[in-house]
Structure 1
Amino acid sequence: DMLCKKLDIIKAEVVVRNIAAGSLVKRYGFAEGTVLDRPIVEIYLKDDDLDDPLMNESHAVALGVATLDELAVLKNRAEAINAVLQQFFTERKLMLVDFKLEFGRHDGAILLGDEISPDTCRLWDLETKEKLDKDRFRFDLGGVEDAYSEVQRRVLELD
């Protein structure tokens, strides 16, 4: 079962990074696959016309995206979700490299407002480091359907 509520979506994408990949590698020169000492939480302005730029707290407040208190909630929720997802995926022999979250407001509360799937997560096989996510499509690796089916199989296997 799933409970859905109409949310006032916050114009921010929250990305949690556990392992260096994607834009983190390009921006900061990490070697792909470097396990980070602690997760990095990044906030991007949700604006396709601007290519979703990375923003800090000052930008977010100045732009009216969120208050400092709301930003603290976003970060805390993202870190809590990360802890749960890391354990969930590790039990299924998957590495949670990074993932994107979107949140919204409902009656004064901040709630998760988007899916969590191989489209919003980077997932690698724990042993082989094979990419089992949207990167298979992004980098023309092929086997997108097979990779998603494998993730589905592992997720459902232990439930």
Structure 2
Amino acid sequence: MSFTISSADARQVTFYVRGDMFGANDQQNAVVDRLRELDDDDVIEGYDVRVWNSRVRLTGTETPAEVEQYRAFESWADAANVDIDPFFTVRERDSFVDGTARELILPVMCLAVHGDDGLEAVAPCARGDETYTVRDCLAELETPDAPARRVTVPAED
């Protein structure tokens, strides 16, 4: 599975990481190193690293930024006919303090590729038995002219 990440687009990559996953630091640093190389080689226009919590509440009056990002990823996944739910998990949690709450569990690492026309790729995602990983997305960024299927969700203002 792959997505066309057009070399004509001004691609901006956002790398989301969970700050609580100490065992994943080497993998996360390797991704940042590859993004730095892609940026230095002008393969991408730039990249951003954002740290997110391992879980966020879906119930309550406030909508955390992670939930808004998840919803944008869900819209893209629907348009691309892929599934992000194996990697972004919604669970109910019982607490004696505040009762039952719905939580979104976020992946350890996630890449989002934005082009001129909006969101072009999110990794990880899956279609059937195929998984599109962060590593797959980086490889596709390194070879943007490889034949693939383009799926874009318009940018929201």
TM more than 0.5: no
When normalised by structure 2's length, the TM-score is 0.30
When normalised by structure 1's length, the TM-score is 0.30
Compare the two structures and name the one with the higher helix fraction.
1
Q: Bigger relative contact order, structure 1 or 2, given CA contacts below 8 A and separation 6+?
A: 2
